Structure formats: C-alpha cells, structure tokens
Amino acid sequence: MYDSFVTDRLIDLWLTEDIGACDLTVQVMIEADETGKFHMNAREPMIVAGIEVAARVFKRYDPELKVKLLVKDGDKVEKGAILIEVEGSARSVLTAERTALNIAQRLSGIANETARYVAAIAGTKARLIDTRKTTPGLRMMEKHAVTCGGGLNHRLGLDNGVMIKDNHIAVCGSISAAVERARKKLPVLTKLEVECDRLEQVEEAVKAGADVIMFDNMSVADMTKAVAMIGGRAKTEASGGIRFETIRPIAETGVDYISTSKITQSAPAVDIGLDEA
C-alpha cells in the first residue's frame, strides 16, 4: 500500500511539474465560481491500480472537491466502468485532471501486464515477482500495482535483503567466501540470495547455505538440472531475459519464483478518461 506522507510529497511534485505558474487555459476560459461534476471512467477492460492515489491528487490540489471512489485497487472492471466521481470547482478538476489520469493509467497498466504474466504460468508452482527496475520515485506505487495484478514483490530496496551478485563474488574471491562474510553480520531473519549463471556455482551456493539461489540467464535445460540439484534445500528464482513468450517453459522447470522487469518497465498504460457527468 501507499504511505500517505510520501504520496502527498510526490503529488506535490507532479502537480508543480504539470501546472507551472498556473493553468492558463482554465484561468482565461472558466470563471472562478463555475462548478461541474465529472466521471473518471475505464475506456477498456482493466485491473485497477492507483485509483486511491488518483483520487488523492484531486483532494490535494483542492480539498473542497467532493471525490467519491467507486472501485478499489485490484478490482477488475469492464469498459465503461466509472472509477471516480469528482464534483466542485471546474477550474480545480480540470487543472488536476491530467496528473490524476497519468498515475491511474500507468499503475493500472502494470497491474494488467502483471496479470497477463501470472496467467501464463498458472498451474505451475512458480510465482511471479518484480524487480528494482522501476520508475525513479514511483517504486512504492509500481510494486503495489504488481500485487494488484497478482504478482509478488521482490526487494523493495537495497536494505530489504542481501543479494550476492557476480561483482560481490569477484571482490570476495568465491561464493563460499562471500556467503561466509555476509552471514557474520546478517540480521538473523533476513534472507540471503546468491546469483548463479553456471551449474557449478549452484552447487557451491547450496553448500554455502544460501537461502535463495537465482538462476541468472540460464537455459531451461540447466535450470531443470539446477532445481533437481538443489532438491528443496533452498528456494529458487529464475531471472534475466524473461519474456512473455519464454515464461511458461521456465515455470515448468520447477522454480519457485520468476522475476522480470517487463511487468514494470514495458507495461503499456491503459486508457482512462475524465468526462463531464
């Protein structure tokens, strides 16, 4: 979910970016006392995400606006569904409109794309997880959108877990040495993950006591062998170059998790509009 303090700070930045000194169009065309009632509506089927933030944009710009949420994040809606009703100063509604639409379109797009990938691996044990490849400043919200689409979150940030990658291993000299060094200072309930791109590294990571082993850009054949080699002694994650076309065969290797940046970096925005009621 969203932290309201952080969200309001972001909304202030978004509105400042879009408005500048003033919304010149409404200032020259619409009288200060004119009011209106508007609907934010879905122009295509979608899974909703970010709708609470969109509603918050209107209230942040003008607390006097009456904003009514008709759906909640995670809801699946059809084309034509009304998502938000907003009523009050026409100047305020039209000034905040684009910012509210932008965030709802972006996050709902991520939820939709996530759901598409989740459906592609249905019936396997694999669970879809996201990455840290998110839009700067929007990670909290984009990761929330992933959960709306049925995915799971990987690390929220660098402070959420230890992931030993190739450069860490190079500095320490080996996977075993890297894991040993990390374990000495690792909080007792924090997971330790090791990235491997070869089967011999997988064996070393298992023996070193890694909690999670990532298969980085491995072939489907090697991932199948690696899952059997680990035999449940650690959780497994497939990562690197995951695409919609390749995710099903990867899921069928028996991995526990599949991580991909495609659901955040490449998700197309959905079509949401604001029309006068």
Active site residues: 98, 133, 165, 195, 216
Distance CA(256)–CA(97), nearest Å, equals 42
What tokens appear for 207 in the block?
């023996």
**Is residue 51 within 8 Å of residue 104, measured between CB atoms?**
yes
Residues 6+ apart with CB under 8 A from 150: 114, 115, 118, 128
CA 3/CA 1 separation, integer angstroms: 7
Residue 129: both structure tokens together: 């997880």
Give the dihedral sign, CA 170/174/177/183: positive
Q: Which of 41, 36, 89 is nearest to 63 (CA)?
A: 89
Q: Which of 173, 16, 194, 164 is nearest to 95 (CA)?
A: 16
Nearest CA among 115, 111, 76, 95 for reference residue 36: 95
Bridge partners of 85, per DSSP, are 39, 68
